[in-house]
Structure 1
Amino acid sequence: MLDIMLPHYGELRLLRIAVESIVAQTDDRWRLTVLDDNPADRETGIAEYFAALGHPRVQYRRNPRNLGITENFQQAVDLAEAPFMSIMGCDDVMLPRYVERVHQLIDGHPGAVLVQPGVEVIGADGSVVRTLADTTKRRVYAPRFAGTVTMAGEELAVSLLRGNWLYFPSLVWRTEEIKAVGFDPALSVIQDLKLILQLVTRGGTLVADDEVVFHYRRHGESLSASSAVTGNRFSEAREFFLAVAARMDEHGWPRAGKAARWHLSSRIHALTMLPAAAKQRSGDGVRVLTRYAFGKPR
């Protein structure tokens, strides 16, 4: 069984698409829990939709208070009971073979802690798109492989610290391992990478597959996109990477420590955000982005 946890913050239209993609899976070894964290004055009709859906493996829970993204992610981890779990985005889409393929990968790699199935990126209208960020992920940072690849140890840490090529909402996690680590409540945007790196230093193995079974929706309205333009994402990222560098050095992984200290992909990302910050006349954002992109590693 796979626990699919679905933290929700957006609109009912996209949520319905996400839920219907899960219900349409070719493999019924899944259970869906929706964690609605919308503020009280936001979209209505969500509870009514789930009541009408009446699916035996779909549970809807509305948070009594707004938790925020990281705390809602942690709630997803706390509530999961199946041996493996995913934390899907409320605007993403599972293709029909997602659950079937994930179970095949788990069966073939029983020691895996993380599974990264094949992903395509879609835009706001649902069509497949080719963005600079995702092209860079695939061609520069992601390992070159056909079929399935297994990675672990410093090799995996260095790869992710040079550029995080994983798609968090599509990942499948070994539940007992993610429960043992959990999300850092002090982080709001980069919390997934910290958790993954902690699992890697605990000895966790990643299995990546190239069969596309997931559609990750990328658009400019997300928290990560807006925080990137203002520079808030990179203020958090600077302290994160420097702390990770120290931990990697202490762990005896000097190459990973060096990759964290330089965090080149994150710096390049900051450079790409400069035109948008300037267009919005965000002086603070421009200063933060410039300092982050060109600052010397410590």
Structure 2
Amino acid sequence: MTIDVMLPYYGDVAMMKAAVDSVLNQEDKDFVLTIVDDGYPDADLPAYFQQLVDSDERVRYFRNETNLGANGNYKKCLSLVQHDVVVVMGADDIMLPNYVGTVRKAFQNPDIKIVQPGVEVIDEDGNVYLPLGDKVKAGLRRLAVGGSSEAVIAGEPIAESLITGDWLYFPSVAWRSDAILKHDFREQYNVVQDIALAMDIIMDGGKMLVTDTICFQYRRHRESDSSVRALDGRRFAEERAFFDECARDFAALGWTKAARAARLHLTSRLNAVTLTPKVVSKRMWPGLGKLVMHAVRP
């Protein structure tokens, strides 16, 4: 079972090269690395990418003629999937050497559509750390799996857990290709497209395997695109639309607990509260109003 590693790229060159190296240094060599360059303006990159392709037959490289943006490039990556399992990796994240082997073992169960392996969070300098938000994610994950080191979860319980607080680390998640291609990323979302995709697969009966085996490092940037969108309110507007959509979908399935959690979206509202001091310090008054409205929305 060859695993497709899709690497949509636009951003820091050094971090991208570290990400590429981490894939090529996998202990399990049965993978194909596909890099999709969204037109990053660096004159030296084409030669670097060509050298990768020439030196390793497992590497493919594509460059978009026009910039598609994050969600558009994710969708472009899916159009290039060739094998039964795929991961859409972040171009600044790190695969530990056991990642491909861990994922391959998890997908030995043919019923599994999504695999969330163990993840470490690293900062801009590659240091492992655990911010408050990630501590909350870890707690929600433990509750979802009942404290087990490995568990298969499905249906309303996992939908309720993830809509209460999204504890997935999208760049580390591996997907059964038939499931991800069936549902694809929703075009209207630019921040929550990952959890929306997971929800579509879960509502379609897909099962998720969660394992504590740490095999991936997720890089947390203080000024990431999602952080900026949070401060000016755009992230929460998108989240609110998504929660409303999920509440309707869950209700149609008879998932009353999950629908209630979607309407409440407690951790999202608490997150808006925690960001208000930073918004005030930056004098982002329109963003402050949007955060407050999101936090107190009935």
User: TM-score, length-normalised on structure 2?
Assistant: 0.96
Counterpart amino acid of residue 267 in structure 2: S
| Gaps in structure 1 of 5+ consecutive residues | none
Answer with 114-123 or 136-145: which moved more. 136-145
**1:185 lines up with 2:184 in the alignment:** no
Answer with 284-293 or 268-277: which moved more. 268-277
Match of 1:225 among 227, 231, 236: 227
Question: Match of 1:66, SS?
Answer: coil
Contact 1:141/1:163 (<8 A) preserved: no
Match of 1:249 among 251, 259, 267: 251
Counterpart amino acid of residue 98 in structure 1: Y
Question: Match of 2:189, SS?
Answer: coil
What's the offset of the Cα at 1:52?
2.2
Contact 1:12/1:45 (<8 A) preserved: no
- What residue number does 1:132 align with? 132
Instruction: State the Cα RMSD in Å.
Output: 1.1
**1:32 lines up with 2:33 in the alignment:** yes
Q: State the alpha-carbon separation in 1 of the partners of residues 171 and 187 from structure 2.
A: 18
Contact 2:37/2:63 (<8 A) preserved: yes
Question: Match of 2:179, SS?
Answer: helix
What's the offset of the Cα at 1:11?
1.6
Deviations, residues 198-254 of structure 1 (Å, cap 9, x unaligned):
100100000000010000000123211110111110011111101110111011111
Question: Match of 1:271, SS?
Answer: helix
Deviations, residues 177-216 of structure 1 (Å, cap 9, x unaligned):
1111111111110111111111001000000000100000
- What residue number does 1:201 align with? 203
Q: State the alpha-carbon separation in 1 of the partners of residues 50 and 68 from structure 2.
A: 23
- What residue number does 1:67 align with? 68
**1:113 lines up with 2:107 in the alignment:** no
- What residue number does 2:23 align with? 22
| Gaps in structure 2 of 5+ consecutive residues | none
**1:82 lines up with 2:111 in the alignment:** no
Contact 2:140/2:161 (<8 A) preserved: no
Counterpart amino acid of residue 284 in structure 1: P
Aligned-pair identity in percent equals 38
Question: Match of 1:79, SS?
Answer: coil
Deviations, residues 94-117 of structure 1 (Å, cap 9, x unaligned):
00010011111111x221000011
Counterpart amino acid of residue 103 in structure 1: R
Q: State the alpha-carbon separation in 1 of the partners of residues 220 and 280 from structure 2.
A: 22
Question: Match of 2:200, SS?
Answer: helix
- What residue number does 1:167 align with? 169
Q: State the alpha-carbon separation in 2 of the partners of residues 26 and 283 from structure 1.
A: 50
Question: Match of 2:107, SS?
Answer: helix
Contact 1:141/1:162 (<8 A) preserved: no
What's the offset of the Cα at 1:66?
0.4
Question: Match of 1:149, SS?
Answer: strand
Q: State the alpha-carbon separation in 1 of the partners of residues 232 and 259 from structure 2.
A: 27
Counterpart amino acid of residue 192 in structure 1: D
Counterpart amino acid of residue 111 in structure 2: G
Contact 1:2/1:30 (<8 A) preserved: yes
Contact 2:116/2:173 (<8 A) preserved: yes
- What residue number does 1:216 align with? 218
Deviations, residues 131-183 of structure 1 (Å, cap 9, x unaligned):
01101111245434332111000011001011011100000001011111111
Q: State the alpha-carbon separation in 2 of the partners of residues 294 and 268 from structure 1.
A: 10
Answer with 188-197 or 52-61: which moved more. 52-61
Q: State the alpha-carbon separation in 2 of the partners of residues 114 and 141 from structure 1.
A: 15
- What residue number does 1:52 align with? 51
Count of aligned pairs: 293
